[in-house]
Structure 1
């Protein structure tokens, strides 16, 4: 038995080694491409998958294969998100000298990393391979995409379309490769053999990426917490929360998982959420829903990114026509309060806060359980309240008056970098807080020349000031 297992592992290691060799050979052919050549490539890659007719086909294929989310959400991602990402990076200089600092007399030169090993989740398999691929190629890298098994056909379709476009542009197809028959062992092997890992997926895979021995960019757990204060435009907030909560049936880890309403507007805002299709569950329904979402402490894949009716039928309670999402009352945070955690369904926990200070405390307690470092949001017309929440929460992104799941990874209405890979900093066990993009997938050579006038150390009196008097 042990010998057979070792043989299988050896075979998979050899398979990945062959892919990496192909990828590396292709990358070497574009390593010295000009900016114009690189940008033409990534335009072609996006057009190949996002042009009218093809985008619709990919959206339907994704829903049919994964049985997660809905057509409208998938279509928005492949048609619009890929375009927006391309637009976001197309004018960036990623070849040659990319930055000059005349004050420090430093010039920065971009160099490719090599082979990027990219993980693609089942929840966003339509746009993730495209966005990661153009970010890799923008830095003159090649990429190998390891899909979730639930989305392997979608991934192959998308990668094949990009490969065909790359060849038509005169470049080697193998700058984009996919693992067509994926497995955990192959993904782990890819992470060991590539030059940099770009990991988007479950916590187990991200942990494996960090443990692979290869430099890795990972993401943290999502569990967005949204505060609505007494200054907010409540109608606007209710509609944007609905949009965010229901986008692609909450497949995104950025979906509004907890909404905190301050006391002054609690009843009015809750009524507006109900008016937008929210169904407030009673204690019995809440208990049934809890049993449906979590099995042995883990989220039940059967209900992830499904319709309210499907989930209600599965859980055993009636769901009225027109219901778009569930609302469960919650007060605590932690494992004894599972609804305070990520739910991956059209379910939001609603909390009542005395005031903004209480809302901040709740946000930090909720995200200390799950989601710390990822994202939170606030609906408010008070800059003082917005900044107070931003300064007091352990989060990488605070989205203001915007639908969270459509905004924190970048959108046309904000200046956030377009991506599906959201670093969560040390709070989330990640090496970066960035919206990860091409700049994270290059090496930089710093050229340092002597200053025209050398720096001089100031006197002790200037440098240490009153510290001298206090310490002697």
Structure 2
């Protein structure tokens, strides 16, 4: 018989060991030991039950792990290896236990070798028994199914606020949206300064422009549009009625923290939903300030403030997962890196995610060369190139390459020599996986200084040549900085080949750009590039979000299944609605 199946372990060759144990009793709620304590002994449970718990500081919560009951040894591992307790042991049913102190165990080891060997046998049998039970829970797995009280509380507040907001009139909703936009617009400079200080990225003046565009212009695009409950005659005998979805979990990138927060808030309110804003860890302060301003407007209008919240706990994967998998969260709006977007789609909650950009740009020989150069420079230099739909790789027809480069230099670009090209790769792309993180959102002047590249003028953009069909070049991948690759293009086939292959490397589903006056070329280009938006003779930074064309003005750009997403639109409030159809 296994010694651990009996009420007492002292039999079957363990007679000497019993002289070293003492009996102890514990009541419900007491602890045998606590996490991080140095071990003072171990316990053999005679009666009752305990549960082991792991306190996770990220979520400020005790996570229940495994229960132990009669016939089991608890706390021996940390005692044997002489390390702090990895978890706590809390009594859930009154416990009678035999206790072996650390001092007694040391005596065993020194003066009673047979008894010490009996202890090791007991310890070994305990481990085997635990393995045989094959309980799969560990710290990580337990956390995935554990409830985090602060998350539950916040989601419940959002649910109640959403219910109260359902009865508000469309005019009142539009009034709130407009007032939020005006408030953010008025605070654009403060928010831009805070963003730049906290993230270390971008250009303050450009951030001010983005925040202003992302507030009043977004509000103008929403006001007076049909919202919740609108009835549309969709077809003969078919009426479509829009409905809110409930609670949105909005994940915010560090590249555009304020404008994305405001955008997701405004489209959530327009569609009559509540939203919980989760900012990037490097943008938490500006995220909290933005949400604070929004909540002040809600309070002023008598609307539930908890329509818009931000997590109390610092952003980390555990907290984010708790929101994404919460039963009462209806939709995840994920704007950020590929791993974050993938986790959103893997959460089991409906999600809209955004893929990476890496726009190829064909500069055709029939284009306005000077105009194209000016648009490219101003677009990619804007906010130091952090907009995901901005230009990344130029495909310039040979007949106009020198003319284009000369114009680009006149607008502040530096065209690298062969030696400077190597300096750029060695110092700025040294990881071999792409642009090093510390150079994301940094100015072209600072990037050149770090690489040892100099000019006698203010450098706004870096142009690095890549040889045709060199698809192994790291420069053909996404660069969230004012750095562009360019190739000298021989003919239309080469241009189309490169546009296609560049997107296969990275950026599939997002954006591609062509500068031409030839509609046939536009059609051919559009047919080849696997993207959700093709911009014609337009700056990528402004064009991708719909700032200077007919696309929906948006800071969440769907990339379709091509980019691993669920929608290919510029996301707007309609994506946060369910539709009911009445068929006559």
Q: Same fold (TM over 0.5)?
A: yes
Q: Of 321, 330, 345, which aligns to 1:195? A: 330
Match of 1:454 in 2: none
Residue deviations 1:40-84, cap 9 Å, x none?
121122122112xx1111111111111100112110111123222
Deviations 1:101-160 (A, max 9, x none): 243x11111111111000001110121100000011111000001000101000000000
How far apart are residue 348 of structure 1 and its match? Answer: 0.3
2:135 aligned partner: none
Match of 1:80 in 2: 213
Structure 2 CA distance for aligned equivalents of residues 197 and 101 of structure 1 = 28
Cα distance in 2 between the residues matched to 1:46 and 1:219: 24
Q: Secondary structure at the match of 2:318?
A: helix
Partner of residue 393, structure 2:
258
The whole-number CA distance in structure 1 between the counterparts of 2:246 and 2:580 is 15
Q: Could you tell me how far apart the structure 2 residues matched to 1:61 and 1:41 are?
A: 25
Give the SS at the match of 1:127: helix
Contact 1:293 1:343 in 2 (8 A): no
> Contact 2:58–2:316 (CA<8 Å) still a contact in 1?
no
Deviations 1:294-343 (A, max 9, x none): 52525422111111222122233335432111000013568721100001
Quick one: distance in 2 between partners of 1:182 and 1:307? 28
Counterpart of 1:325 (choices 439, 461, 483) is 461
* In the alignment, structure 1 residue 114 sits paired with structure 2 residue 226: no
- When normalised by structure 1's length, the TM-score is 0.90
Q: Which moved more, 1:206-215 or 1:329-338?
A: 329-338
Segment of structure 1 superposing worse, 284-293 or 128-137: 284-293
**1:151-162 correspondence runs (5 A):** 151-162=283-294
Deviation (angstroms), 1:357: 2.5
TM-aligned CA distance change 1:334 to 1:208, over 3 Å: farther
Specify whether residues 210 and 5 from structure 1 end up closer, same or farther in structure 2 by C-alpha distance, changes over 3 A only. farther
Mapped contact 1:334–1:341 kept (Cα < 8 A): no
Q: 1:139 aligns with which of 259, 268, 271?
A: 271
Q: Which moved more, 1:89-98 or 1:153-162?
A: 89-98
In structure 1, C-alpha distance between the alignment counterparts of 2:222 and 2:377, rounded to whole Å:
30
Cα deviation code 1:227-270 (max 9, x no counterpart)? 11111011111111111111101011112111111122122112
State the shift of 1:278 in Å.
1.1
Alpha-carbon deviations, 1:432-463, whole Å to 9, x = none?
Answer: 110011010111111111xxxxxxxxxxxxxx
Match of 1:375 among 511, 515, 524: 511
Name the CA shift for 1:92/1:259 in 2 (closer, same or farther; >3 Å): same
Alignment correspondent of 1:166:
298
Deviations 1:347-378 (A, max 9, x none): 00001212223211100000000001100111
Distance 1:322 1:10, change over 3 A: closer
Q: Distance in 2 between matches of 1:320 and 1:441?
A: 51
Quote the Cα distance in structure 1 between the aligned partners of 2:523 and 2:163.
47
SS in 1 for 2:568: coil
Pairwise CA distance, 1:199: 0.2
Q: Structure 1, unaligned stretches of length 5 or more?
A: 450-472
Structure with greater Cα Rg:
2
Which of 36, 44, 54 aligns to 1:4? It is 54
- Give the C-alpha shift of residue 36 in structure 1: 1.1
1:348 to 484, 488, 492: 484
Q: Does 1:286 align with 2:421?
A: yes
How far apart are residue 94 of structure 1 and its match? 1.2
Give the counterpart of 1:61 among 194, 200, 207: 194
* Higher RCO (CA-CA < 8 Å; seq separation 6+): 1
Query: 1:183 maps to what in 2?
Result: 316
Residue 127 in 1 paired to residue 252 in 2? no
Instruction: Report the Cα offset of residue 90 of structure 1.
Output: 1.4
Give the gaps of 5 or more residues in structure 2: 1-34, 36-51, 62-146
Q: Distance in 2 between matches of 1:294 and 1:214?
A: 38
Change (3 A) 1:261 1:443: same
Distance (whole Å) between structure 2 residues aligned to residue 296 and residue 392 of structure 1: 28
Report how far residue 14 of structure 1 moved. Answer: 2.1
CA distance in 1, matches of 2:57, 2:320: 17
The correspondence for 1:357, drawn from 488, 493, 496, is 493
CA contact (8 A) 1:327 1:347 kept: yes
Q: Using the alignment, how far apart are the partners of 2:154 and 2:432 within structure 1?
A: 38
Please tell me whether residue 238 in structure 1 is matched to residue 373 in structure 2. Answer: yes
| 2:156 equivalent among 15, 18, 21 | 21
| CA gap 1:339/1:184 in 2 versus in 1, 3 angstroms | same
Q: CA RMSD in A?
A: 1.8
CA contact (8 A) 2:246 2:274 kept: yes
Distance 1:298 1:6 in 2: 34
| TM-score between the two structures when normalised by the length of structure 2 | 0.73
8 Å Cα contact 2:434/2:479 also seen in 1: no
